[in-house]
Amino acid sequence: MQTTDVLKSRAFRLSLAFALAIAAAATVVFTLIYLQFSAASEQMVAARLTDEATRALNESDGELRAQITQRLASDLRRLDYAGLFDPNGALLLGGPASLPSIRPDGRPHLVASGPVRDAGRPDQAIFVAVRRADGSILVLGRSLSEIDDLRGTVARSLALALAPTTILILVIGAFFARRAQRRLGSIHAAIAEIMKGDLKQRLPVTSEVDELDRVARGVNLMLDEIWRLLDQLRHIGDDIAHDLRTPLAVARAKIERGLERGSTIGELRAAMAEALVHLDRSAATISAFLRVSAMESDRRERSFGPVDLSAVCAGLFEFYEPLAQSKSVVIALAAPRSTLARGDEDLLREAISNLVDNAIKFTPEGGRVLIAAAAADGRATVEVSDSGCGVPPQDREDIFRRFYRGARDGAAPGYGLGLSIVAAVAKLHGFCLTVDDNGPGARFVLRGESLQLDSDEAARDIGAAPPKRSKASA
């Protein structure tokens, strides 16, 4: 990875912006401290000089001279000024050498004093002047050179502190930028492999659950689904060809045989009728396949509403009761009360209808089929069970694939699409579809979230009569 890539990365730019923000904030803070400290130091000096000058007004000439001499003698750094001037401004004792050009009003004044310093400006001092009763003028002052030195120290400290802090922040930013660039580089490499056709490739993820990892995991889930759908497409072509080849070949043979051997209109009509039966079977296969595809890609959730699954089961019970009687199969309904769920009533009816139709189809004479609907623990459940040959454990995952026909199907009519329709409807509604052993037979269960409505609201939204109580027929 090149250094220029790191410097151009978003993480490094953010670190640079953060470093500049820290530098600006630190500068503001230090400047405020600097100004407050300077002002407080000057105010302290001014207050002390004013107090001393006020007290000197009431002292005798001898006491004042003694204090001035002592003050000057103890000032080893030559920072203090104490001078006594006559009414005409001539120096009597102490210093400075000449009377500062300030009014003797007992207030502090900031004036220049002393030689020019290295910084190119003269020292500054605070002076207080008062006029005594005898007309003499007392001048007290204090040089601000110490405060100026401290100001310079604070400024240098600020500069010395900001430089390494900014550099440290930029180094940290470069480290994280380089780390992010490496992760993005590995992700780009994986994407490049995927674009070349390697759909088994997945974006790299780490143990850190950050935003980038969440996006990578989401993309991996999407790739898993794409791979699953493409895998289905690989098999669908073979399945369609297999299911359509036989009826089309038989229809073609019937037509050829009728054309070759049919000597009368009646024989030709019989051959055409047999061919139409097989063509109708091919058309039904294609229609069922398109129905599954339409439901898998449907987005009808916006039109979902309350559905009474018990009423749906009751209607299917009445519809399939004659068919069960014709096969000498006992069919029973167990839906004692309303079982509400949210969904599309037509699709749910079609899914349950496929389960009931399969149950009757694979149940021998004297067997039993049960249709049940109930709600418990916030879950709406529809169960269709039979006493037929059941579903072997090794087939329970495959029976919901399109065109799959297990060993139990045998010569039973069908296209292997009924259960795939049920699975598509269940997925669209967010229902869980399972198959278990019924000892003997199979037990198919649809489970979804139960919908709770009061009786008036349910009657208004559903508009269906209450389901019938449990019954059976032979």
Domain boundary among 276, 296, 316: 296
Check whether residue 270 and residue 321 sit in a common domain: no
**pLDDT tens, position by position, 238-272:** 556 655 666 677 777 777 777 777 667 877 777 78
Q: Does 355 have pLDDT greater than 70? A: yes
Residue 180 lies in a domain: no
| End residue of a domain, out of 229, 264, 296 | 296
Is the pLDDT reported for residue 166 higher than 60? yes
Distance CA 157, CA 173 (A): 24
The average pLDDT across 176-205 equals 81
Whether 181 is covered by a domain: the verdict is no
Task: Output the domain CATH number for residue 67.
Answer: 3.30.450.160
Q: Is the pLDDT of residue 370 over 90?
A: yes
Structural domain including 131 reads 3-152
**For residues 378 and 290, which has the higher predicted lDDT (pLDDT)?**
378
Assess contact for 331 and 321: CB atoms under 8 A. Answer: yes
Residues 292, 305, single domain; the answer is no
Summarize the confidence of residues 71-91 as an average pLDDT. 84
How far is CA 19 from each of CA 6, 15, 173, rounded to the nearest angstrom? 16, 6, 9
Q: What is the CATH number of the domain that holds 284?
A: 1.10.287.130
One domain for residues 233 and 367 = no
State residue 21's pLDDT score. 79
- Tell me the CATH number at 424: 3.30.565.10
Q: Are residues 217 and 146 in the same domain?
A: no
In this prediction, residues 19-36 reach a mean pLDDT of 79
Rg (CA), the chain: 49
Same domain flag for 89 and 10: yes
Cα dihedral value 291, 297, 303, 309, nearest 10 = 60
- The average pLDDT across 12-31 equals 75
Note whether residue 187 is domain-resident: no
Rounded Cα distance between 104 and 94, Å, is 17
